[in-house]
Amino acid sequence: MTDFEPIAEGAVAASLCRHLAFYRHKKPTYQTVMLNSLLSVWSGPHEKLIDVGGGTGVIAQCMKEMFPVGSVDVVDVVDRFCTTLDVPTHVFDGLTLPFANGHFDAATINNVVHHIPIPLRAPLFRNLRQAVAGPLYIKDHEARSQLDHGRLAILDWLGNTPFSGMVQADYLTMDDWRSLASESGFAITQIARGSYRNGPFEALFPNRLELTMRWERV
């Protein structure tokens, strides 16, 4: 399904400002495009959603408020969650999710996979396949050259440093994404892009670097 109403930047700003003072002075353009790109590949509604690697938890909060879901949980390897959230938060070891098989109907993983050590990626996704009965929605990046790796490293530093997020990364090509999905028991069924940047900034950091996918179980 792709016939959901677009999310307005003002609604995203109102949500984020309740939890992070940073967004009182910074328009959440990137976050709004990301949320709408996820909606563009959404096949829900889903009753129970888990956001994996959710960082401060503010995107999970936005999804609870704006997506066709019943509930949203968020999990990460470190407790950096904002204390003002009203979504359940969890800490895990980065590999084994502390939930029963099929506990969730869908999962989102936003700008996380490139930070996961390569040997741990397929095992994590196989564990996700157990905890999640339905699709995975992944927002991440696609690198096509060494120049792209450099561009993405700069974007990660710019985007994550203000929130003490991870900057160590190993970016994936499209072939890497297909291989990871296959190894984990999934297939990539839909891909979307978005207009995250414009003007000179887009020339330096092309929007093709941004990738949103829906993975389905096979």
pLDDT at 157 over 80: yes
Closest C-alpha among 87, 7, 14, 80 to residue 40: 7
Categorize the per-residue pLDDT at 164 as very low, low, confident or very high, splitting at 50, 70 and 90: low
- Dihedral sign for Cα 186, 187, 190, 191, please: positive
Give the tens place of pLDDT for each residue, 196-211.
Answer: 999 999 999 999 999 9
Task: Note the pLDDT of residue 1.
Answer: 46
Give the predicted TM-score (pTM) of the model: 0.94
Task: Note the pLDDT of residue 159.
Answer: 81
* SS percent in the chain: helix, strand, coil, step 5: 40, 20, 40
Task: Note the pLDDT of residue 44.
Answer: 87
Task: Note the pLDDT of residue 163.
Answer: 66
Instruction: Name which residue leads in pLDDT, 174 or 157.
Output: 174
Task: Note the pLDDT of residue 172.
Answer: 98
Q: Are 144 and 152 in contact (CB under 8 A)?
A: no
Give the tens place of pLDDT for each residue, 8-24.
Answer: 999 999 999 999 999 99
Domains and CATH numbers, the chain: 9-217 (3.40.50.150)
Q: Are 54 and 76 in contact (CB under 8 A)?
A: yes
Give the tens place of pLDDT for each residue, 25-57.
Answer: 999 999 999 999 999 999 989 999 999 999 999
State the chain's mean pLDDT as an integer.
Answer: 95
